[in-house]
Amino acid sequence: MKIKFAILLILFGTVASFAQKSKKVTPIAPKEIFVSDLLSKMTLEEKIGQLNLPTSGDITTGQANSSNVAKNIEQGKVGGLFNIKTVQKIKEVQQIAVEKSRLKIPLIFGMDVIHGYETTFPIPLGLSCTWDMNLIKRSAQIAAQEASADGINWTFSPMVDISRDPRWGRVSEGSGEDAYLGSKIATAMVQGYQGDDLSKNNTLLSCVKHFALYGAPESGREYNTVDMSRIRMYNEYFPPYKAAVDAGSGSVMASFNEVDGIPATANKWLMTDVLRKQWGFKGFVVTDYTAIPEMSEHGIGDLQTVSALALKAGIEMDMVGEGFLSTLKKSYEEGKISLEEIDKATRLILNAKYDLGLFQDPYRYCDETRKTEIFTTSNRNEARKTAAQSLVLLKNENQLLPLKKTGTIALIGPLADAKENMAGTWSVSTKQDKSISLLAGINAAVGKSAKVLYAKGSNLDYDAKLEDKATMFGKTLHRDNRTKEELLSEALKIANQSDVIVAAIGEAAEMSGECSSRTNIEIPQAQKDLLAALLKTGKPVVLVLFNGRPLVLTEEKATVPAILDVWFAGSEAGYAIADVLFGDENPSGKLTTTFPRSLGQVPIYYSAKNTGRPLENKEGVFEKFKSNYIDERNEPLFPFGYGLSYTTFEYSNLKTSATKINFNEKVKVSIDVANTGNFDGKEVVQLYTRDIVGSVTRPLKELKGFQKIALKKGEKQTVTFELSAEDLKFYNTDLQFVAEPGEFEIFIGKDSNANINTKIELVK
């Protein structure tokens, strides 16, 4: 019998070895059975260990076995790692988990893959301005392909926080101010990362963040208090999170801020009642970086107390804080938490590893032959095309753009030759040295057909401290030590030799992003002075604006002939911007955030509600005892949905298939859109509704549909939308999701100022 058993072991080892070499995997039991069996074998310490997510720390190739983190892995005290990449490093660490730990449970490996991997797409705010869900989904697919080829299987993305305050730096990492559009983008991103089968080795487990309300901090200051009514949460801020959950996101990240006076990381109503009971979320929740110990600073208890609160609230994984690792056993022994609560959290982590296929093959993401899939020509070409569609043309007086590839072009500004800034914030894996600067892009576009002269013109700002504070991930602007007079003199010399001036100015990459809140959201003064001097030359000036947030551009709109908002367009930024500047691509981006006329208008957004004393005139003229300012107009500088093209579009013939519908019917709404200009182009046709009378006050307009269409010069197309009672629902004061009978106004147009309208009635 012993001989037969030995033979079986040898045979099993041979089969397993062959399976590994041939990339086949060993079949295992169904998830529930497999995970339950594994859970029954785990000690309390091993269960708690699965809930621990440290950063990679000092683990590097060749040192993994001697690192402190590695020792914890061997002892079963680590569930996953982040901030480690490359197949070689990850495989070496994974070997410790599956070959040296007692139960050989594999690790998951996470990273902030936010808007691409080595091939970097526009920052998420810019990406949202494409209004193209296929492009957005494809950007996530490419990010997943590249990151997974480098050993990573979990991304801390998408960030779906609604934000209406451009002082907050992380507006750059989200999709703007609107819950409907944000929900569509959240769905596209999750589907792009996770695909239709998470066990495929070219997918990533997504992590929707930051749950919840992180984009609405008081005073726009990072990590600050958030306070709002629940009806506002459900109607205006929750929808993108729910959309990501409905799309199957495998994990959720808790936000730093408090909700209803309780930090989100310890908020049971948020993590259990809303996320799991109301929305049916089946994945696991991870904290943000050190969020558990930070709750002590909020004033709700010591590390042991807040760790127990987090677990009981519905947090499964502790990122870096080690509150779970160091206190949960003691809390269990003291009866402050139950074994059932620990088991539930551990099970969800193990479920995710099962879904990723790691129990079948822990080295599934460690295929070194896949390194050829990273930063490919094909991926970079897609990033370039996507970037071109994210650019928003804000002004184009006398059709100054597109430029001709002839004559002399002066390219001036501190961001003209700053390739390390092109990818923008949260581009931790970007090949900064291979990013394309605007100078390189313009030179490549014109070749020998035109002469390009370059000067820096100014530093980012007169005060070097701003540059120092805005430095992250090595993205500096290499401050020029010449005096401002010397820099300006050089710029004016080449400006006076040119036929047209392209001014590349705005924010540096890390002036937006995490911990980059600003109280002044104008272009820094040194660059404003440079721009004013360039305008005085009398030469036509094109402002190429780099920014990660809406800026106050009131002066620039009044004085500069052409403004192209290029955000931070990714690793191929220079090529994409040049494509648009010279007309090889027609700009089609539309704003997903409102641009204020003045900082004092903030927060400002299109879907505001009326007051009892609304300002009724359309000219911004002050009226006594109305809801207005005495020193500024009410309307924004550029509205949500705004964006120009090199061609023109005309809208006409708005029709509805019915004037009344019941709760089981749909109405078709159609409009004719014609390209009446001289270029082929793309247009985002936007549909808004207004619920005229409701049981609670309703917004003046709400986006309920959009289509991005391509029209040849002279072409006309009928665009059709469908609306039903489901599209007209909202959360009432009892937090019931309802549609109420009554009249609804429908608007269709180029942006949120759309005034082509009709009415329908919803009847019982």
Annotated catalytic residues are: 288
Q: Are 450 and 405 in contact (CB under 8 A)?
A: yes
Question: Torsion angle, CA of 710/712/715/718, rounded to 10 degrees?
Answer: -10
What Å distances lie between residue 419 and 325, 439, 474, 475, 572, CA to CA?
A: 42, 9, 12, 9, 10
d(CA 582, CA 95): 52
Sheet holding 154-155, edge to edge: 80-82, 108-111, 154-155
Q: Which of 570, 608, 737 is nearest to 231 (CA)?
A: 737
Between CA 751 and CA 285 the distance in angstroms is 37
- Report DSSP letters for 267-325, one per residue: -HIIIIIIIIIIT---SEEE--TTHHHHHHHHTS--HHHHHHHHHHHT--BEES--HHH
- Would strands 284-286 and 154-155 be described as parallel, antiparallel, or unpaired? unpaired
Cβ-proximal residues to 229 (8 Å cutoff; 6+ apart), any chain: none
CA-to-CA distance for 337 and 341, rounded, in angstroms?
A: 7
Buried residues in 675-702 as b, exposed as e (16+ CB within 10 A): bebeebbbbbbbbbbbbeeeeeebbebb
Q: In the numeric block, which tokens belong to residue 377?
A: 């020509």
Q: What secondary structure letter does DSSP report for 653?
A: E
Checking DSSP bridges between strand 562-565 and strand 541-546, what pairing results, if any?
parallel
- DSSP per-residue string spanning 331-381: HHHTTSS-HHHHHHHHHHHHHHHHHTTTTT-TTTT--GGGGGGSS-HHHHH
Which amino acid type is present at position 76?
A: G
Q: CA-CA distance, 723 to 185, in Å (whole number)?
A: 20
Q: What's 719's DSSP letter?
A: E
Contact 728, 688 (CB under 8 A): no
Beta carbons within 10 angstroms of residue 297's beta carbon:
10
The three-state secondary structure class of 204 is: coil
| Nearest-5° Cα angle at 322, 321 to 326 | 145
Query: Is the C-alpha dihedral spanning 72, 77, 81, 85 positive or negative?
Result: positive
Cβ atoms 257, 225 nearer than 8 A: yes
DSSP SS3 for 546:
strand
Query: How many whole angstroms separate alpha carbon 152 and alpha carbon 310?
Result: 27
Q: Give me the amino acid identity at 68.
A: N
* Calpha distance 214→170 (Å, rounded): 9
Three-state DSSP at 226 gives coil
**Do 89 and 59 form a contact (C-beta atoms < 8 A)?**
yes
* DSSP 8-state class, residue 170: G
